[in-house]
């Protein structure tokens, strides 16, 4: 039983359904440059976990699960076996690393399984995959450095370009993937989840139910970050 399933049992809550639309929010310029400067400072000063050699794919976790023995100083939070239906036990990856302080200053909801990814642009595409539904976790992608050839696709729908200065919120239970084309430069993205039904109390080390309305997805997303 995953952490989230235990919470469902504890609070006797029900799942909600949501469409596969991607919700886009503009990031105010000052906040975006705060995010960008923080991310680039991390990638310039910290060793990233190298997932593959060719093309290059690197990642650095900003939150981790202290109960897993993760190689590379707990830097990579997805090198564990996936659970049923390809879903990770996301709510275990809630403990912040020192480099994630900037993320906590922009998130109103508890950030989960947060990471920075840096990829060379010679991939044709990543594999189709899916994660948690939106009533468990809102997935967020913020492009920090990207190119017009870097596209994002959900459920075999028309791919979209992920633009700098915007945040993309989506229901990651729907299959999704990146399409890279032939980008000339490395792509750097900030990727994280936001817990919707539950909030983590760091002082007490436990989850609690903040009684959010998870049926109004647009308002839920609007309230999830400070921009």
Separation CA 183–CA 48 (nearest Å): 21
| In-domain check, residue 87 | yes
Is 59 domain-assigned? yes
* pLDDT-flagged residues of the chain (< 70): 1-20, 51-55, 68-89, 121-126, 180-182
Residue 165 lies inside a defined structural domain of this protein: yes
d(CA 55, CA 49): 14
Residues 6 or more apart from 3 whose CB is under 8 A from it?
89, 91, 92, 207
Identify the pLDDT of residue 97: 87
Instruction: Quote the pTM value.
Output: 0.85
pLDDT of residue 58: 83
Helical H segments across the chain, by residue range: 3-11, 29-45, 71-74, 101-106, 217-222
pLDDT at 68: 66
How many independent structural domains does the chain possess? Answer: 1
Token match 């791919």: residue?
159
- Residue 15 belongs to some domain of the structure: no
Let me know if residue 227 belongs to a domain: no
Whether residue 14 is contained in a domain is answered as: no
pLDDT given for residue 124 in this prediction = 65
For 174, the domain range is: 3-9+20-222
pLDDT of 61 = 87
Establish whether the linkage from the previous residue to 100 is cis, with ω within 30° of 0. no
| CATH code: domain of residue 211 | 2.60.120.330
């Amino acid at each position: 039983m995953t952490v989230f399933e235990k919470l469902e049992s504890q609070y006797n809550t029900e799942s909600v359904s949501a469409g596969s639309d991607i919700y886009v929010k503009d990031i105010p310029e000052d906040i975006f440059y705060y995010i960008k400067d923080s991310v680039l400072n991390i990638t310039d000063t910290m060793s990233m976990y190298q997932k593959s050699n060719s093309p290059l794919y690197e990642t650095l976790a900003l939150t981790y699960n202290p109960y897993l023995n993760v190689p590379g100083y707990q830097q990579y939070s997805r090198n564990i076996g996936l659970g049923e239906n390809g879903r990770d036990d996301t709510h275990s990856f809630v403990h912040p690393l020192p480099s994630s302080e900037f993320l906590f200053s922009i998130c109103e909801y508890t950030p989960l399984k947060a990471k920075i990814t840096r990829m060379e642009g010679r991939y044709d595409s990543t594999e189709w995959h899916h994660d948690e539904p939106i009533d468990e976790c809102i997935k967020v992608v913020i492009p920090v450095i990207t190119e017009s050839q870097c596209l994002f696709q959900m459920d075999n729908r028309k791919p979209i370009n992920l633009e700098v200065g915007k945040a993309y919120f989506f229901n990651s239970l729907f299959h999704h993937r990146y399409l890279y084309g032939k980008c000339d430069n490395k792509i750097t993205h900030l990727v994280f989840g936001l817990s919707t039904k539950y909030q983590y109390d760091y002082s007490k080390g436990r989850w609690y139910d903040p009684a959010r309305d998870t049926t109004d997805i647009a308002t839920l997303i609007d309230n999830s970050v400070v921009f």
